[in-house]
A and B are shown apart, each in its own frame.
Chain A
Amino acid sequence: MDAASLTAARPRLLTMTGVGKTFGGDVEALRGMSLEINEGDFISLLGPSGCGKSTALRLIAGLIHPTRGSIRWDRPKGEGDLGVVFQEPTLMPWATVEDNVWLPLRLRGRPRAAVRDDIMSALRLVGLEGFARAYPRELSGGMKMRVSIARAMVTRPRLILMDEPFAALDEITRFRLNDDLLAMKAEIGCTVVFVTHSVFESVFLSDRIIVMAARPGRVIRELAVDEPYPRDESFRTSAAYVAHCRAASEALHEAMGEAA
């Protein structure tokens, strides 16, 4: 099935048209990227280092602006419509878990008492309701990442951007978080754009995989993973999963071959 048509029936969330980014006048990080993100999509950006996948994420986040092309939200982006999870948990070490999760709401001037329920339900979502008063240094790497996800979800955003969030974690923790991430996404019904360099992770999580190549960063292939959600452990061992992994792997090799 054609990847774009898989989720095309869903309402459009954001459209990137011919987006390019050149840093400092001569470093072309991204060239001609067009992408339609629909509500409820789980999109992975898969590619080797330097393929511009993080640049694409920063462009969508509005942290940098495109040199060429345009990025358009279908409905104007409101406060709290966007959540971000970085590769590091990026928590404030001086603040407790609940105060870290409170941050997006606090910056909008909401007192903690007024949003206590939101904070607690975000913590419940990631399975850390018992750790509200803990400090980040008291938590394991996986738990810190869960707090980071709770912080991104506390505003119930329409779009969550994740930049290799589980790359630094061990495989067992990563599998658990992949399972849980799909459950959380289903529960709050958001859209996810997920940067990764793991073929397996991208196939397990996404319904569309955007394969990117480096120098200059560009999209070379779009793959559909037309398998139903919820996906669980049995999906990881299914023939369909293996076939998708092979396809994604080949596309990735192609991407790396072109770069070399």
Chain B
Amino acid sequence: MSLAETAAAAAADPEEGARARARRIEAWARWTLPVAVLVLVILGWHLFVTLNRIPHYILPGPVRVAEVIVADWPVLWDGMLVTAKIALYALALAVLGGGGLAVLFSLSRWTEMSFFPYAVILQVTPVVAIAPLIKIAVDDAFTSALVCAWIVAFFPILSNTTMGLKSADHNLRDLYRIYGATRWQRLRYLELPSALPYFLTGLRIGGGLSLIGAVVAEFVIGTAGTGLGLASMIQEASYRLNIPRMFAALALIALLGVAIFMALTLLSHLLLRRWHESAVRREA
């Protein structure tokens, strides 16, 4: 049905018209409601601070935090770049490591049996506990932070991709066998596309975790005066009782997390929208 016909049908059918209106309102509310909540919270925060005359070294108001963000922008921006770099490099390495290892596991069950338990051990050991050891082993603070963030981010990608590679339809596997497909063809044409939705889910989890890993690593590793990114900045500001800057850095970390999540969600949508149930818009 063409667009014009659809519109005409909607006009003719009151139920369809109401449904189209409801859809428009929902699309609009999806953005405006969260923004409205944000504005209300900031307003409430501002009123709470000003009406109670709370000193800024205990809880700075939003205006003060905004002022600090503007005034300290060069420092904060540098810090944000460092934190973003740790998180994104770690995520990229996690994709290579987790995805690559998953493919290796799918090619060889013996390899999977040998190494998967150690991947689990690496995952369940808290990164905070490993970080000091890494700091000793690796000289460069940036590299050791990267290693920490990578350890946290790679497991969800590994386990999701491993599961995805195994989830290919078994009748399709039979079909590939009947047509004499090579191992490589089966991987490329069947298992990798089947694993894509699982991999993307792992990637979104890994994206969030890589930032958490980066922040934790900066807290643990950045202590010896090796100032790194936003998280070390929070720590340093807390020593100096520069509470507004702590809030400013915190706001930027949250912003960074949201940006990573949205970028990965967009990527996932673009890759799956043609065929996967999770991304396909259904007719009501």
Contacts and interface: CB of A to CB of B under 8 A. Distances in A.
Contact of A94 (B177, B178, B196): B196
Considering residues B177, B189, B196, B277, which has the most beta carbons from chain A within 10 angstroms of its beta carbon?
B189
A185 to B, nearest CB: 19
B189 A90 contact: no
Contacts of A79: 179-180
A193 interface: no
Contacts of B175: 84, 86, 90, 103
Contacts of A63: 174, 177-178
B140 interface: no
Interface stretch (A66-74, A104-112, A124-132): A104-112
A107 B174 contact: no
A92 B192 CA distance: 12
A106 B189 contact: yes
Contact of A103 (B180, B189, B276, B280): B189
A79 B189 CA distance: 19
Interface residues of A, number: 23
Contacts of B172: 90, 92
B275 A94 contact: yes
Interface string B175-186: 111111100010
A104 B190 contact: no
A58 B175 CA distance: 11
Nearest to A136: B275
A62 interface: yes
B114 interface: no
Considering residues B175, B178, B196, which has the most beta carbons from chain A within 10 angstroms of its beta carbon?
B175
Contact of B193 (A61, A82, A94, A137): A94
Given A79-B180, A94-B193, A84 B174 contact: yes
A82 B178 CA distance: 8
Contacts of A88: 171
User: Chain A contact residues: over half helix, strand or loop, or mixed?
Assistant: loop
B78 interface: no
Nearest to B196: A94
A88 B170 CA distance: 11
B274 interface: yes
A95 B177 CA distance: 19
Nearest to B280: A137
Contacts of B189: 92, 103, 106-107
A135 B275 contact: yes
B174 to A, nearest CB: 6
B72 interface: no
A135 B274 contact: yes
Interface residues of B, number: 21
A63 B169 CA distance: 15
B171 A107 contact: no
Contacts of B171: 86, 88, 90
Interface in B175-221: 175-181, 185, 189-190, 193, 196
Contacts of A106: 189
B275 A93 contact: yes
A108 B182 CA distance: 10
A119 B275 CA distance: 21
A107 B275 contact: no
A108 B178 CA distance: 12
A55 to B, nearest CB: 13
A82 B175 CA distance: 10
B107 to A, nearest CB: 18
B193 A107 contact: no
A107 B274 CA distance: 23
A95 B196 CA distance: 13
A107 B172 CA distance: 13
Q: Give the 9 A-B residue pairs with the shortest CB-CB distance, closest first.
A: A90-B171, A107-B179, A94-B193, A107-B181, A86-B171, A93-B275, A94-B275, A104-B179, A135-B275
17 contacts: A58-B174, A61-B174, A61-B178, A82-B178, A84-B174, A84-B175, A86-B171, A90-B169, A90-B171, A94-B196, A94-B274, A94-B275, A103-B175, A103-B179, A107-B180, A107-B185, A135-B274
Interface of A: 58, 61-63, 79-80, 82, 84, 86, 88, 90, 92-95, 103-104, 106-108, 135-137
Given A95-B193, A103-B179, A136-B275, 7 more contacts: A86-B174, A88-B171, A90-B175, A94-B193, A103-B175, A107-B180, A137-B280
